[in-house]
Amino acid sequence: MAERFRNFIAGQWAPPATDDYFENRNPAEWTDLIGLFPRSGPEDVRRAVESARRGFAEWSRTPAPVRGEVLHRVGDLLVEHKDRIARAMTREMGKVVLETKGDVQEGIDTAYYAHTEGRRLFGRTVPSELRNKWAMSYRRPIGVAGVITPFNFPLAVPTWKLFPALLCGNAVIWKPSEDVPHTANLLVEVLLEAGLPPEVIQVVHGLGEAAGKALVEHPGVDVISFTGSTETGAIIGATCGRMHKRLSLEMGGKNAMIVLEDADLDLALDGVLWGGFGTTGQRCTATSRLIVQERVHDKLVQLICDRAERLRLGPGLEPSTEVGPLINEAARKKVEYYVGVGQEEGATLATGGAKPAGKAFDCGWFYRPTVLTGVKPGMRVEQEEIFGPVLSVIRVGSLDEAIRVNNDVAYGLSSSIYTRNVNAAFRAMQDLDNGITYVNAPTIGAEAHLPFGGVKQTGNGHREGGWEVYDFYSETKVVYVDYSGKLQRAQIDTEG
């Protein structure tokens, strides 16, 4: 009998009001059933909101440095349980253990950063234009934050949202991806063990169209943070716009690495393999386009294909594996579809383009690292997010052309340039239209203490991580203290 996992609502592990469950299976071996998780509905969300409002009343009055201490303990516990959580994460998400350990490490970094922010959370004190008057701003908690997270970073991305939201004094209701619900429960166990008051965190499992929708539409949820597809983000944005809710969106990418003819090709080769095929290409930041200057194009493509063919596919729990499976059947179908589309559009399949052969792969969502060459700007495989191990290679003549190709897509998350020319590097830093640009490093690898996010259709102007996310999860209040003992009229009594 499969284990039935629960939601965490009102300080308890609770079965769903719907009495309905969905399966969570291992993407490398789908006969491996991890457990059944609640397919929650509006009633579960309603209970979660009721409890979170109580949690907020208490937590928002807890001093920020004390809230920070809880997050410090969260960091310590994640260090202690890193290996166990990483292995559980690989079992449900598929990426290799080295990467799921990195995922937990990103959560640890985020926790320790949040801890320090508890003693900072700066407001500003500025001079008043009037005598004997004090003017300042400070940060206040907002209320209940609804957090909806994707499958690809089952722990790190949720911590980017949960930890700053909590540090700022909000209560959180979290709807994790239905592909990775187990990691969510493990993180909640850590939060509780660290001493977070139980009603400050709620987990409501389920599907976006039921549990996620109910969360976004509930008037008792003040703030929404979502990472996922651009289509879903648009629906959430419409609701939040109508209800005047604060919203942070982190959505698609079509990230490019530019390699100029003066680049260190070995370095670029390592970078593109890691950026393109690490996490089986399932990062928002994944390198999905390679823009190469003519003179080094053929050589670099040859080197990439040789190495890509030798990457070891397999279950992420096996130490020798370099590339795990895709998350589910729909993800593999999407990749297959786009590889077909690319060839119909006139691209050449240089390597990959198929499931790996062999019995070991029969029960997993594996797909070979794939390189499409002869890709032209404007083709669908050059414009649309595939979210899999597919690299579209575009040949260009110059840096100017490379920058144009990079910018001429709807998304703008990350970009990268490989060059030894300092002028070219600075030109790229200035003109690549992305939230993040790497010089001589691939498009992946953002660090937790810097703002993370993209321009154009990738987001809606907010940033996660770093210091900027603390603005999102707090409300600015301004206070004027007039100690003159008389009426002073701003903009009128300013003389003397």
Q: What residues line the site for ligand UN1 (CB under 6 A)?
A: 106, 152-153, 157, 283-285, 444-446
Could you tell me the strand order of the sheet in which 144-148 lies?
A: 12-14, 7-9, 201-203, 171-175, 144-148, 223-227, 246-250
Q: One-letter amino acid identity for 65?
A: P
Q: Give me the least distance between CB of 91 and ligand UN1, in Å please.
A: 20
Q: One-letter amino acid identity for 298?
A: D
Q: Secondary structure of the chain: what % helix, strand, coil (to 5)?
A: 40, 25, 35
CA end-to-end distance (rounded Å), the chain: 82
| Residue number, 123 or 445, with CB nearest to ligand UN1 | 445
Instruction: State the residue number with the nearest CB to ligand UN1.
Output: 446
Give the distance from CA 331 to its chain's centroid. 18
State the helix-helix crossing angle for 82-93 and 64-80, rounded to 10 degrees.
80
Any bridge partners for residue 394, and if so which? 291
Q: Give me the least distance between CB of 466 and ligand UN1, in Å please.
A: 12
Three-point CA angle 335, 340, 342, nearest 5°: 95
Q: Is 437 helix (H, G, I), strand (E, B) or coil?
A: strand
| Residue number, 157 or 162, with CB nearest to ligand UN1 | 157
| Residue number, 93 or 171, with CB nearest to ligand UN1 | 93
* H helix intervals, 174-326: 181-193, 213-217, 230-243, 265-277, 294-310
| Residue number, 145 or 446, with CB nearest to ligand UN1 | 446
Q: One-letter amino acid identity for 339?
A: V
CA dist., res. 471 & res. 165, Å (int): 10
| Residue number, 67 or 283, with CB nearest to ligand UN1 | 283
CA dist., res. 78 & res. 84, Å (int): 10
Q: Give me the least distance between CB of 434 and ligand UN1, in Å please.
A: 12
| Residue number, 8 or 151, with CB nearest to ligand UN1 | 151
| Residue number, 153 or 365, with CB nearest to ligand UN1 | 153
State the helix-helix crossing angle for 64-80 and 97-117, rounded to 10 degrees.
160
Q: Give me the least distance between CB of 282 and ligand UN1, in Å please.
A: 8
Which residues in 267-286 are b (16+ Cβ under 10 Å) and which e? ebbebbbbbbbbbbbbbbbb
* H helix intervals, 60-96: 64-80, 82-93
| Residue number, 15 or 445, with CB nearest to ligand UN1 | 445
Q: Give me the least distance between CB of 435 and ligand UN1, in Å please.
A: 11
Q: What are phi and psi of 95, to 5 degrees?
A: -70, 160
Q: Give me the least distance between CB of 250 and ligand UN1, in Å please.
A: 7
Beta strands in 360-463 (DSSP E): 370-373, 390-396, 411-412, 414-418, 436-439, 455-456
User: H or E segment at 430?
Assistant: helix 422-431
Q: Give me the least distance between CB of 193 and ligand UN1, in Å please.
A: 25
CA dist., res. 201 & res. 54, Å (int): 11
Pairing of strands 171-175, 201-203: parallel
Q: How many residues does the chain have?
A: 496
- Looking at the annotation, which residues are catalytic? 250, 284
DSSP structure class, residue 459: B
Q: Give me the least distance between CB of 393 and ligand UN1, in Å please.
A: 21
Q: Give me the least distance between CB of 447 and ligand UN1, in Å please.
A: 7
Q: One-letter amino acid identity for 261?
A: E
